[in-house]
Amino acid sequence: MAIEIKEVQRFERIGAHSHIKGLGLDENLRALDVADGLVGQRKAREAAGIIVRLIKEGKMAGRGILMAGPPGTGKTAIAVAISKELGKDIPFVHVSASEFYSTEMKKTEALIQAMRRAIGVRIKETRTVLEGEVVGLDYNMVPNPYNPTQKIPESATLTLATKDEKRTFTVSGRLAMQFLYQGIEVGDVIMIDKETGRIVKLGKSDKAKKKFDLGDVETVEVPSGRIEKEKEFTYVVTLHDLDEANARRSVFSLFEPVSREIDSEVREAVDEQVKRWVEEGKAELVPGVLFIDETHLMDIELFAFMNRAMESEMAPIIILSSNRGFAKIRGTDIISPHGIPLDLLDRLLIITTEPYSREEIRKIVEIRAEELGISLSEDALELLTELGEKNSLRYSVQLLAPAKEFAKLRNSGKVDVEDVKRASELFVDVSQSSSYLKKWEERMLAQ
């Protein structure tokens, strides 16, 4: 019986801030009009640039930042840009304040875990590794014992080469599966930890025949020297990772699951261990960033806990975000700016954002359309700009995807003004939704 093999369409999700590459500043920390995916908000971006420099120099300990401004003015975008500027090794944790309220754990425990996920430990170890360019990779495929119609690798023959040596290895099925999962192929430069079997794909060899014009494919030089070598291995784990690992070891019963809450004794032991590693030169602390959105949802207990936690020597940089004006501090009858206690506000560097101008809205819509692969006519771009200025930038950007679908129905590869109009007639913004509620208020269910 012939088996038909169909090509599976790749599903790609474009994130709301996937186009952001950095803060878009020049060497003097002056914001460029349009750079690194950011538009406008020059004052806020320049302030964020100073924050990045202070974090890198280790001068932000015990402080926090508040991003304050109306909805849709780029507060989250700037926080993401800060994380990009800090680099891949710097932990960046993005949470909403609503995530602290859960039936699975106490709210203070949820906040502690978020803070410890934002603190990295860069560990240095000397390990024996195999490093080189993959010049040969052949799999020995056998039927899957659980699904005979599917084949899995029983083993593989791997040939690695450096500039000075070439060796062939027979690897186990477990390693062969890792090669398949990571998509490793001839021309890749890889590193294998001999003890753990951990495989790291370093990039594509600069001598490889296959070249890429697009995509995140990094070209690296083929290593020199021996394939098997002693190498200093550096990796970053978070304090929360170490907490969980030690919590699992402390559970003596085979049938008792590890609690989602971690005992303070476990954390104290982890902190002491990390301090010893730092003193011995085996590790260094990498304070990261904890970005808390919708800060006004936090209550007085969480604020008090955070105020004290910021004084700890093992505290991350905390960035809060609020679109509230004067509001009640949750859990009290006290009205305060942004719904945040004054004693905490005094410890924060406050960055404000402002509504975008018409030209800035136009440029942002243009950038988002390009990121989504949507071609816009001039009239369509003008209408979306008008809707962004009249209603909101978010509403304008959200109309891009439905408008593209209407363009497809016309067999057109370009979104025109009629597609945007049709989308705006079907999908309403907040003000239109409020008018709808007023019109049918009597038929709506009351609280």
Confidence of residue 243 (pLDDT cuts 50, 70, 90): confident
Element (H, E) at 119: strand 119-144
Rounded Cα–Cα distance for residues 116 and 118 (Å): 5
Closest Cα partner for 394 from 435, 428, 437?
A: 428
- What pLDDT sits at residue 367? 86
* pTM of the entire predicted model: 0.67
327 Cβ contact list (under 8 Å, min separation 6):
296, 335, 336, 338, 339
Rounded Cα–Cα distance for residues 157 and 151 (Å): 17
Residue 117, helix vs strand vs coil? helix
Confidence of residue 212 (pLDDT cuts 50, 70, 90): very low
- Both tokens assigned to 204: 């594509």
Closest Cα partner for 70 from 353, 308, 414?
A: 353
Rounded Cα–Cα distance for residues 284 and 282 (Å): 7
Main-chain dihedrals φ then ψ at residue 116, nearest 5 degrees: -75, -20
DSSP string across 302-352: HHHHHHHHTTSTT--EEEEEE--SEEEPBTSS-EEETT--HHHHTTEEEEE
Q: What is the dihedral of CA 184, 185, 190, 192, to 10 degrees?
A: 60
Phi-psi region of 338 (alpha: psi -120 to 50; beta: other; left: phi over 0): left
Confidence of residue 87 (pLDDT cuts 50, 70, 90): confident
- Residue 281: pLDDT over 50: yes
Rounded Cα–Cα distance for residues 307 and 303 (Å): 6
- What pLDDT sits at residue 416? 92
DSSP string across 137-184: EEEEEEEETTEEEEEEEEEEEEEEE-SS-EEEEEEEHHHHHHHHHHT-
DSSP state of 371: H
